[in-house]
Amino acid sequence: MSDSFTREVEGLSRIRHPNLVCLFGCCVEGGEQYLVYEYCSNGNLAQHLLSNTPRDSDLPWDRRVRILRDCALALRFLHGHPDGVTVHRDIKLTNILLTEKMEPKLSDFGLAKMLGMEESKVFTDVRGTIGYMDPEYMSNAKLTCASDVYSFGIVALQLLSGRKVIDLDLDARDQLTRKVGFAFQLFKGLKTQL
């Protein structure tokens, strides 16, 4: 096993939270490295929210709010872990898996960066998914917990609006304008319902 793979497995094996997918083990077979995680039978959040045949009955309003709350608790755990901060770097709908009871589990720690106990930021290669990445991180490669919070905000915007807010045909500035517009419309709609 490579040193980086071993470090990743050791780091992930210490992280346990009800809303993080559980790492059961690892193996090397034919030169390939494999991680074995718990199975989440209801697929990912994107399949329920953005598919061509939406299953809105699967995601009533109260369930959407619980999913957001539970994901926020998982992020708070990662960002405040006593052994050091873990920045996920790829928070998105497809990386939020759903259990049989529709409970969310944050998954795919392949891009996660574990910071030392004294570190609050690190300069690193920019990695993640376009549309979910923090514009500041994209422009200066400074990775902080705020990068995950931005990505989580995009997830929240999509989950609460029920609409895809990322359009890869737009440049970064237009994407940001579109996201702000969606957020404003959503807020305005919620305000009138109160």
**Catalytic residue set:** 90
Residue 62 is encoded by which pair of tokens? 């109260």
**CA–CA distances in Å: residue 194 to residues 108, 157, 185, 189, 191:** 37, 19, 15, 9, 5
Cα dihedral 69, 134, 82, 68 in deg (nearest 10): 10
CA angle in degrees (0–180, nearest 5) for 101-106-111: 160
Q: Are strands 96-98 and 104-106 parallel, antiparallel or unpaired?
A: antiparallel
Residue pair 42/102 in contact (Cβ under 8 Å)? The answer is yes
Residue pair 78/15 in contact (Cβ under 8 Å)? The answer is yes
